[in-house]
Amino acid sequence: MAENNKIQEIIKESLENIRTIIDANTVIGTPMETSNGVTIVPVSKISMGFASGGLDFDGKKDSSAKNFGGGGGTGLSVQPVGFLVITHEGRVEMINVGQKTPKDTIEQVADLLERTPDIVYRLKMIFDKFAEMKADGEAQPAIESENKDE
């Protein structure tokens, strides 16, 4: 039983050291309130690897003497993901930081669905404008893209 306690001590000490480095405030940071009532909450991603091991072996001169050798290691990475911005009206927006990977298909569809009311409104305004111009007998202008690169 004493041998099991040695490996447990290694694991316990490693985990205690990890707790001193990270806590819940590392993932969802401490909220900061601005003078105009907007609250900003930092959000981070934590990745961690942990390894521990040990070995019991007999002593060189006395085989009844039990020796123990062991160790452990931990790797920890904290990456900022973004910020939650909460307005005084209660609206919440996520601002991503350093998103290098392209959005996957599901995120693209979700983004499109989120923007649909605005897109429909803009299309309606264009068609209403064309209907007015047609009623007045004016020539219809070419549709210009908002993004000049397209």
37-46 pLDDT, tens digit per residue, is 889 999 888 8
Q: Are residues 15 and 82 in the same domain?
A: yes
Cα angle: 60, vertex 65, 68; to 5 degrees: 85
Q: Are residues 89 and 105 in the same domain?
A: no
Which residue, chain included where needed, has tokens 């003497």?
A: 65
Q: Are the CB atoms for 28 and 81 separated by under 8 Å? A: no
Q: Are residues 40 and 82 in the same domain?
A: yes
Q: Are residues 89 and 136 in the same domain?
A: no
Which tens digits make up the pLDDT trace of 45-66? 888 888 887 787 777 777 677 7
Mean pLDDT of the chain: 76
Q: Are residues 48 and 114 in the same domain?
A: no
Give the 3-state secondary structure of residue 19: helix
Q: Are residues 106 and 149 in the same domain?
A: yes
Q: Which domain holds residue 126?
A: 101-150
Give the 3-state secondary structure of residue 123: helix
Q: Are residues 123 and 87 in the same domain?
A: no
Give the mean pLDDT of 69-80. Answer: 81
Q: Quick check: 149 pLDDT over 50?
A: no
Question: How far apart, in whole angstroms, are the C-alpha atoms of residue 113 and residue 123?
Answer: 15
Which residue, chain included where needed, has tokens 């397209």?
A: 150
Give the 3-state secondary structure of residue 119: helix
Give the 3-state secondary structure of residue 150: coil
Final residue before a domain boundary, out of 58, 74, 98: 98
Q: Are residues 27 and 69 in the same domain?
A: yes
Give the mean pLDDT of 107-122. Answer: 74
Give the 3-state secondary structure of residue 109: helix
The percentage of residues in the chain with a pLDDT greater than 90, rounded to a whole number, is 1
Q: Are residues 90 and 77 in the same domain?
A: yes
Question: How far apart, in whole angstroms, are the C-alpha atoms of residue 10 and residue 52?
Answer: 7
Q: Are residues 34 and 108 in the same domain?
A: no
Q: Are residues 112 and 137 in the same domain?
A: yes
Question: How far apart, in whole angstroms, are the C-alpha atoms of residue 63 and residue 81?
Answer: 55
Q: Are residues 70 and 120 in the same domain?
A: no
Q: What is the pTM of this model?
A: 0.46
User: Which conformational region is residue 55 in: left (phi greater than 0), alpha (psi within -120 to 50 degrees), or beta?
Assistant: beta
Final residue before a domain boundary, out of 78, 98, 118: 98
> How many structural domains does the chain have?
2
Structure tokens at 59: 């002593």
Question: How far apart, in whole angstroms, are the C-alpha atoms of residue 26 and residue 40?
Answer: 14
